[in-house]
Structure 1
């Protein structure tokens, strides 16, 4: 079956540990695009945090798309038109913010414009996220968040603290929201209807591409939903063991241009 759409995660997948795109990965993506394959960056990052990568990879032309916020936002990269937008409402924010205080973990909310935290002592992983995605951080009380269009909320803290908090999240929250752990210090919470998997399904339908003709490449638990729905799931060699069982193929690591290897072996041959 010919692959017509390739969904590619960023951190731990597309880029190396020092946040670079290798020449091999760049060239493989250009070759795939030249052959008419849709290469779609699919990430937990906010839209502002992917613009430089889209420019670097020449993925901002007519007919190019990007999936951000773990599937809560799908955009046409040329026009920036929203194709899918599954935001959280203010009541969701209040509920999750209150829970974070009960659990004793730092939390921030992300819009298209910035990162907002009600923690007076701003957590170091909030600063880390802001630096990673190039977004400003704002301190706002919960009462000041009424007019914000929140796409994603993150609980962020030291891994041991976060793991203890996760163990105490009420089961009802998992029924109400999509909750995924993307890093040892990141727990991401989005609209229940949103996931990387649902975003890919929606985009493939829009483009007239069958799911048998799709591939996804990822490395972490927040890639599970897309790996479960595509025809050809590929996991990085450096990926977590819990998702390697989903893979049809294991590619090389992110530091060894694993995305390029996957595209050349299972898309372009």
Structure 2
């Protein structure tokens, strides 16, 4: 059955290590779109961190979609209108913020309008994320967060520190939330009802497609849900070894235009 929807992660997948789109990837995306294939950027970033990429790839026409916040939002790429929105409650925020303080790990909460941290000394990876996704960062006390519509929370620290702290997170948190690493220094926490896989499943149904007509391409653990959801999971050569175990296909690395190779080899062949 022909693939009609391709969900593509950004960092480490579609983008090179220099965060660039290669000409080969650009041309493959355009050819897929001309062939009637929906190419859907599927990322942990907010829409602010994706907009320039969508424009560069010409994926902002009516009928184009984008999945942001690790599946927390499915949005119309032309209008940024929410199609699906899953958020964390204020009580969720308080519980996770208290845990972060107990673990002594910098944390920030993301909304559609920006990033918020209760850390007076803002963590360097929070600042890095703010610059990466073009999202402003604000200091707010926990009490001031009561009206915020939080889509995702991130704990951020040096990789070796974060790995040790993850071991100390109570199992109840893993039962209640989706918790996964999107980079060595990022631990992302979203509602249990929100992940990339569920977002793709919803979008496929919305478009009248079966999962046999879907493909996902990723490289990190936060891509697992979408790779397990679709019937054509593709993992980058630079992806984790654990993810490669569930891949139907292994494509070239992000430095070698692996997304273009996957589209041409298994979608447009």
Alignment-derived partner of residue 91 in structure 2: 91
SS in 2 for 1:234: strand
**Partner SS state of residue 80, structure 2:** coil
2 CA distance for matches of 1:164 and 1:257? 34
1:156 maps onto 2:156 in alignment: yes
2:234 aligned with 1:254: no
Deviations 1:172-220 (A, max 9, x none): 1111111111111100000110000000000000000000000000000
| Secondary structure of the structure 1 residue equivalent to 2:17 | coil
Aligned equivalent of 2:101: 101
Question: Once superposed, what is the RMSD of the aligned Cα atoms?
Answer: 0.6
Match of 1:139 in 2: 139
TM-score (norm 2): 0.99
Q: Give 1:82's aligned residue.
A: 82
Report the TM-score when normalising by structure 1: 0.99
- Aligned twin of 1:18: 18
Q: What is the aligned partner in structure 2 of residue 236 from structure 1?
A: 236
**1:40-79 paired onto structure 2 within 5 Å:** 40-79=40-79
Matched, 1:200 2:207: no
Cα distance in structure 2, aligned partners of 1:107 and 1:18: 26
Residues 102-131 of structure 1 deviation map (CA, whole Å, 9 limit, x = unaligned): 011000000001111000111000011001
Superposed CA deviations along residues 145-190 of structure 1, whole A, max 9, x for unmatched, are: 1111110000000112111111011101111111111111100000
Which consecutive residues of structure 2, in runs of 5 or more, have no partner in the other structure?
none
The separation in 1 between residues aligned to 2:75 and 2:136, in whole angstroms, is 21
Distance 1:50 1:185 in 2: 20
The answer to whether 1:165 aligns with 2:165 is yes
1:257 positional shift: 0.4
Distance, in Å, in 2 between the alignment partners of 1:163 and 1:216 is 27
Q: 1:79 deviation in Å?
A: 2.1
- SS of the residue corresponding to residue 13 of structure 2 reads helix
CA distance in 2, matches of 1:47, 1:78: 11
> Equivalent residue for 1:224?
224
Residue 268 of structure 1: aligned partner:
268
**Correspondence for 2:212:** 212
Taking the aligned partners of 2:157 and 2:119, their CA distance within structure 1 comes to 12
Q: How many residues were matched structurally?
A: 269
Q: Please identify runs of 4+ aligned residues in structure 1 that moved more than 4 A.
A: none
Tell me, what secondary structure is at the counterpart of 2:233?
strand
Q: What CA deviation, in whole Å up to 9, does each residue of 1:205-245 have, x standing for no partner? A: 00000000000000000000000010100000000111000
